[in-house]
Amino acid sequence: MAEEKDLTQGNLTKTLLMFALPYIGANFLQALYGAADLIIVGKFCDSGVVSGVAIGSQLLQTLIFFITGLTVSGTVLIGKAFGAKQYDNILKIINTMTICFVVAAIVMSIILTFFDTHLLNILQTPPEALISAKDYVFVCSLGLIFVFGYNAISAILRGLGNSITPMYFVAISCVTNIVLDILLVGKYNMGAQGAAIATVISQALSVVIGFIYLRKGNFIFKLTFRGIKFDVATAKELFKIGIPLSLQDTLVPLSFLVLVSLANSMGVAASAAYGCVVRLNAFLMLPAGSFAMALTALTAQSLGAGQMPRAIKALRLCILFSVTFGFVFFVWQQLFPKSAIAIFTTDEAVMEAGSLYLKTFSFDYILVPFVFCMNGFFFGCGRTIFSAATSIFSAFAVRVPVGFLLCTLIPSSTLFHLGIAAPTASVITSIIAYIYLDYLLKNNKFTN
* Residues 9-63 pLDDT 10s: 889 989 888 888 888 888 788 777 767 777 888 888 887 888 888 888 878 877 8
Does residue 150 form part of some domain? yes
Residue 337 is predicted with a pLDDT of: 86
Question: Total domain count for the chain?
Answer: 1
429 Cα distance to chain centroid: 18
Does residue 2 form part of some domain? no
342 three-state secondary structure: coil
What mean pLDDT, rounded, does the chain reach? 86
Does residue 259 form part of some domain? yes
Task: Give burial (CB, 10 Å; 0-12/13-18/19+) of 217.
Answer: middle
Taking residue 427's Cβ as centre, other Cβ atoms within 10 Å add up to: 16
Vertex 177 angle, CA 173 and 181, to 5°: 175
Residue 353 is predicted with a pLDDT of: 85
Residue 225 is predicted with a pLDDT of: 61
Each residue's pLDDT tens digit, 343-393: 877 788 888 888 888 999 999 999 999 999 999 999 888 888 998 899 889
Does residue 448 form part of some domain? no
Rounded CA-CA distance 286/312 in Å is 21
Does residue 244 form part of some domain? yes
The DSSP line for 381-415 is: TT-HHHHHHHHHHHIIIIIHHHHHHHHHHSTT--H
Residues constituting the chain? 448
Percentage with pLDDT > 70 across the chain: 96
Handedness of CA 34, 40, 43, 44 (dihedral sign): negative
Each residue's pLDDT tens digit, 108-140: 899 888 888 888 888 778 888 889 999 999 999
Give whole-number Cα distances, 46 to 8, 41, 52, 345, 418, in Å: 52, 8, 10, 10, 25
Domain extent, residue 370, equals 12-442
What's the DSSP call for residue 188?
Answer: S
Does residue 5 form part of some domain? no
Does residue 366 form part of some domain? yes
Does residue 4 form part of some domain? no
Lowest-confidence region among 207-211, 333-337, 341-345: 341-345
Query: Can you give the C-alpha Rg of the chain in angstroms?
Result: 21
